[in-house]
Structure 1
Amino acid sequence: MPYEETPVGSVQALYRYPVKSTAGQALRASAVTDRGLQHDRRWAVYTDDGGIASGKRTRRFRPVPGLMQWSSSIEDSETAPLLLSPEGRQYRVDDPAASRALSAAFGRELTLRTETAVGHHDETPLHLVTTSSLAALEGLTGGAVDERRFRANIVIDTGSRLGFCEDEWVGAELVLGGEVLLRLGEGMPRCVMIDETQAGIAAQRKALKLLGTHHSTEFGLQAHVMRTGKLRVGDVVTLRRTLTA
């Protein structure tokens, strides 16, 4: 089926979160698998009722305030991430000492586990934001907005395109570099996590309210992996739309 392609920018930043709901890891490059960036959210903290620690309460998730002040990282050659406490103590997540440290810090039983049949991602394996939308939100807040606040996997530099330009991309495909192909879903719904303190990021209490007022509490887009490959900072990003007769 014929399609048209339009260059829309380039990859400005890549982030993965080896342990869900902790501060993440900036990357220069990453393999993209069927479930997103390699190692992304493969591990999570679980509460004693089997819920997945998060910033909200749903069927799957349980709020654990303060978890984002911990951080996690992993080298591609490793099998288990490292967990770093706010005080700088480091633990391998597959060491029981890591779960004990979390339990002691939060005063409740918490356990680190790998993903099983219940997925760790909130909505889709990947999600992205654009610099145009970040600039639009800065206009609403009247100050700088750290891209890390939204915990996206991919930040796309969209240059001078108008704010929330990705709203027009829903249902299309994105080609990133020479290998990766994504199908774009709906806007990414946001919760209180975007306002909270994260490792290296101070709280910003009005972002969620402003998005609720001006943009249906959504920011960025959900994305599904259609073709795996290697993704790098600087890769050209092209929007692909199917042409209809």
Structure 2
Amino acid sequence: MSARLGSVHRYPVKSARGERLDEASVEPWGLAGDRRWMVVDSDGLALTAREVHPLLLLHPEITAAGLRVQAPGAEPLDVAVPDPDRQVPVRLWRSELTAAHAEEADAWLGEVLGRPARLVHLDDPTRRPVSAEYAAPDDRVSFADGYPLLVTTTASLAALNDVVLKRSQGTHEPLPMTRFRPNVVVDGVPAWAEDDWRRVRIGGVDFRAVKGCARCVITTLDPGTAEGGKEPIASLARIRRWDGATWFGTNLVPDLPDGRPVTIREGDAVEVLEAVEPGAGPIRPVR
């Protein structure tokens, strides 16, 4: 079986529910519409599902005017793309930048999340550079954690689920890929092959594989209920532990020579252009 793009996913609001797409445009900072919105607290600090689990239950959809967000027990919220002149300071990990404030969402979010919250829109993704440790000086990223795209593979999930099922003696349900919130999922490659990739072509786009993805508590939350558990971190700690972290998936940076978006589609061919010898594990920080 040749390597193919098995599925494409985007997440309109950081930490909220994603959507599967038949195709998506790859922009220099990620898939079009991916994580251009984010929820922050009253000080502009990013709120994520790590600490605010109900964010996972928000169901956002991109509309012609902006965004529609649904949540259990609440009326849907329609939000227009805010005026880019309404900038407020925001902070996401080590990134400090500004984003446009959609004030009409504040009260609704506060009710749904049970805490003060504001919705912001990244009108200009060129404001946020990718970590210089792993990327080129002109690389940019949306409100994703650190890199424009995340790739996972179906074979790696199957290998992980084998361990989960053995550890639980068959009592644990197989984990869905939605736990890991990838943008692109590749079929037809061996388990953990993505660890070794350094350059890969998906459809008509070349990507640099720049860093493995260390996994956090969000993967232990059921995307449908936001309830927590021990998996997959417990099993990853058995088979995928390096440098005090557990790893699943690889971060990608697109190389678009003229900066223009290029569309990728489910079923596109995947070609590994450059790889290292297997066995070293994911690309990790140099200690």
TM-score bucket (shorter structure): 0.7 to 0.9
1:87-102 equivalences under 5 Å are 87=73, 89-94=75-80, 96-102=103-109
Q: Contact 1:93 / 1:112 at 8 angstroms: preserved in 2?
A: no
| Structure 2 counterpart of 1:148, one-letter code | T
Displacement of 1:50 after TM fit? Answer: 1.3
Q: Confirm or deny: 8 A CA contact 2:54 2:226 kept in the other structure.
A: no
Q: How does 1:55-70 map to 2 (within 5 A)?
A: 55-56=49-50, 63-70=51-58
Q: Unaligned stretches of 5+ in structure 2?
A: 81-101, 129-141, 166-172, 277-287
Contact 2:41 2:118 (C-alpha < 8 Å) held by counterparts: yes
Matched residues, number: 224
TM-score (norm 1): 0.83
Letter in 1 for 2:193: C
Contact 1:130 1:220 in 2 (8 A): yes
2:66 is equivalent to residue 80 of structure 1: yes
Matched, 1:9 2:6: no
Residue of structure 2 aligned with 1:183, choices 208, 212, 226: 208
Same amino acid, percent of matched pairs: 28
- TM-superposed deviation, 1:200: 6.8
Distance in 2, matches of 1:242 and 1:107, equals 47
Give, in whole Å, the separation in 2 of the partners of 1:182 and 1:241.
10
Q: What CA deviation, in whole Å up to 9, does each residue of 1:146-175 have, x standing for no partner?
A: 0111111001112xx432121121xx2111
Shift in CA distance, 201/111, structure 1 to aligned 2, threshold 3 Å: closer
Give the counterpart letter for 2:199 in structure 1.
E
CA contact (8 A) 1:8 1:239 kept: no
| Higher-RCO chain (CA-CA 8 Å, sequence separation at least 6) | 1
Compute the RMSD of aligned alpha carbons.
Answer: 2.2
Equivalences for 1:72-221 in 2 at 5 Å?
72-75=60-63, 78-87=64-73, 89-94=75-80, 96-115=103-122, 117=127, 119-142=142-165, 143-158=173-188, 161-169=189-197, 172-177=198-203, 179-199=204-224, 203-216=228-241, 217-221=246-250
Q: In the alignment, what sits opposite 2:95? A: none
CA displacement, residues 25-45 of structure 1 (integer Å, 9 cap, x when unaligned): 110001100011001000000
SS in 2 for 1:211: helix
For 2:280, the equivalent position in structure 1 comes to none
- Counterpart of 1:230? 263
C-alpha separation in 2, matches of 1:83 and 1:203 = 23
Contiguous gaps of at least 5 residues in structure 1: 1-6, 57-62
Change (3 A) 1:124 1:26: same
CA deviation vs aligned residue, 1:185-242 (integer Å, no higher than 9, x gap): 1211110001113237875532012212311211010000112410100101000028
Q: Using the alignment, how far apart are the partners of 2:275 and 2:247 within structure 1?
A: 25
2: CA distance, partners of 1:138 / 1:93: 39
